[in-house]
Structure formats: C-alpha cells, structure tokens
Amino acid sequence: MDVDPRQYENITINDNDSHNIVLSYLIHGCFKDTVESLVDSTGLKVPASQLEDMEKRKRISHFALEGNALDAIALTEQVSPDLLENNKDLLFDLLSLHFVELICSRKCTEALEFAQAKLTPFGKVQKYVEKLEDFMALLAYEEPEKSPMFHLLSFEYRQHVADSLNRAILAHANLPSYSALERLIRQATVVRQCLSEELGKDVQSAFSLKEFLKS
C-alpha cells in the first residue's frame, strides 16, 4: 500500500461518515434525546423503526439498571423473543438481579422462595454452580453490603448486566453488537501498537487512548 501510515493526516474524511459514527454510538447507547438533536443539526436520516427499537432498548436497560429485572425480562421477550431462551447466561444474570433486589429490600423469605423456584434449576449445570453459590451467600448476612459478595449489589454490576443484555438484543436483530465508534477505536489501538513495536520503540509507549485524546 502506498500510503505511509505516519502520513495519516493526508486522508480526507467525509463529514457524513463522522456523523454516522457518532450516530451509531448514540443509537447503540440509546441516547434518544441526543439522537434527535443530532438528526436535527445534521439532517441525517434515521429510520423510524430503528428509533422505536432504540426506545425499547432504552427502557429495558433502565429496568435492568434499577434492578427491576422482571420488567426487563418481560420487555426483552417482547422485543426479541427466544433471546433469553437461547442465552441462559443472560437469563441467569437477570434473574439474579431480581434476587439481589429482594435481598436489598430485606425480603428474605421472598428471596429464598424466588431462588428456590427460579435459580435452583440452574444449579444442575456445573458452570452456574459457583455463581449460584455466590448469590446464595448473600442470604447469610443481615447486612449484605458488608458481606464478601458485596460487589453483586453494586451499580457497576447492574450496568454490566444491562450492557450485556443490550448487546445481545442488537445481535439478535442481526445488528452489530458493538458500535462503529467502538470498533474503530479498537482497531486504531491495535494498529498503533503494532506500529510502535515495528518501529522499535520500547513497549512502554504502547498506545494509550487517554494520552492521545489529551495531546
């Protein structure tokens, strides 16, 4: 290839492409208002069905983030039927969110009954056993926040589950599960790292996105 990787500044970029990249990120993350704003400013066209789907995914994610796993599951079933059937890991994660909710509201009896009804069947499969034990351990503590498993109650954990669910829904609809923006950044990182290794610079100067954005 003729183009020297170091002369990347010579490449022209289409405005439309930039906008689409940003748009893909926003749609992926369900930022509805921002999407509408961008569409107005740039004149890009987004199909209505895509906007509707985004709206649904947004609601699902919010349910998950709030810990309202049951509604999240119900809506997911509507949007992507069979998704959870075929993705037991995700189903388990969602059900466990509900369990955690019950624990946090100190509804121990309900939590136990729910676990016995919905979570026990997972225990028959070896790979879920340890996860199940992690969650069950929460039952033993009057203050689950102080137990060794406190991370299961955290916002970060719920976000992680919501994120996985979001990606799974997109994948189910045959859409990319990672936005264009994310993919581009990953590729750029890899390319930069290869280049710096090839040029013989020491590995310490591996590509850091943070540094790049500051410079």
Partner 1 sequence: MGGVEDDEPPSKRVKASSRELRGLSNGECLKEPSSCSFSACASMARPLALQGDDEVIGSKGVKKVEFVRIIAEALYSLGYSKTGAYLEEESGIPFHSSVVTVFIQQILDGSWDESLASLHKIGIVDETIIKLACFIILQQKFFELLDGEKVMDALKTLRTEIAPLSINNIRVRELSSLILSPSHRVTDGISGQEMVKSKPRSELLEDLQKLFPPTVMIPEKRLLQLVEQALDLQHDTCLFHNSLVGETSLLTDHRCGRDKIPSETVQILPDHHNEVWYLQYSKNGKYLASSSSDHSAIIWEVNLEGRVSLKHRLIGHQKPVSCVSWSPDDDQILTCGVEEVIRRWDISSGECLQVYEKGLIGSISCSWSPDGKWIFSGMTDKSIMMWDLDGKEMDCLKGQKTLRISDLQTTSDGKLITICKENMIVILDRESGAERCIKEDQTIVSFTLSGDNKFLLVSIVNEELHLWSIQGNIRLVSKYRGHRRSRFIVRACFGGFQQAFIASGSEDSQIYIWHRGSGELIETLGGHSGAVNCVSWNPANPHMLASASDDRTIRIWGLNHVETKSNSCIHHCNGAN
Give the Cα separation of 207 and 25 in Å (integer).
22
For partner 1, which stretch binds (CB under 8 A), given 71-79, 130-138, 176-184, 202-210?
Answer: 130-138
Site string for partner 1, 145-164 (x = CB under 8 A): --xx----------------
If binding is defined by CB under 8 A, does position 184 make contact with partner 1? no
Instruction: Report the residue from 31, 141, 157, 207 that binds partner 1 according to the rule CB under 8 A.
Output: 141
Structure tokens at 181: 């923006």
CB under 8 Å to 99, separation ≥6 — which residues? Answer: 111, 114, 115, 119, 135, 138
CB under 8 Å to 55, separation ≥6 — which residues? Answer: 30, 32
If binding is defined by CB under 8 A, does position 117 make contact with partner 1? no
C-alpha triplet 10, 12, 18: angle, nearest 5° = 135
CB nearer to partner 1: pick between 56 and 118: 118
For partner 1, which stretch binds (CB under 8 A), given 12-20, 39-47, 60-68, 125-133?
Answer: 125-133
> What's the min distance (Å) between Cβ of 132 and partner 1?
7
Where do contacts with partner 1 occur on this chain (CB under 8 A)?
A: 108-109, 112, 115-116, 119-120, 123-124, 126, 129, 132-134, 136-142, 147-148
